[in-house]
Amino acid sequence: MDTIQIIGLLAAVLTTAANIPQTYKIIKTRSTKDISIVTYSMLMIGFVLWVVYGFSRNDYPVLIANSISALVCATILFLKLIPKKALNKINEKVTPDK
């Protein structure tokens, strides 16, 4: 593995990991009021385009990192677009009564 590949892998790990704390916070607080739907939509489109690029070039670090990032971004968009009432109903079905 050469220096450029190591730099690419490090960049992939860091950019993929950067979205995870935000997603965790959103899932934990169930609050997406401060999240921009335009920004996350643009990010999602970018990740999907990177996945297509990585697939066409057989570039597995790009493909894997952006697939994971797209999944994380899609989670945020899903939670942003689904009304809070619907999320509460889903949560009630998943969480048993105490």
User: What does the pLDDT profile of the chain (98 residues) look like in tens digits?
Assistant: 789 888 888 988 898 899 899 889 988 888 888 889 999 999 999 999 999 999 999 988 889 999 999 999 999 999 898 877 776 676 666 666 65
CATH number for the domain spanning 32: value is: 1.20.1280.290
Residue 25: CB atoms within 10 A of its CB come to 11
Q: Are the beta carbons of 35 and 25 closer than 8 angstroms?
A: no
Domain extent, residue 60, equals 3-94
Single pTM value for the model:
0.76
Residue ranges of alpha helices (H) inside 1-98 are: 3-18, 20-29, 37-56, 60-81, 84-94
Q: Count how many domains the chain has.
A: 1
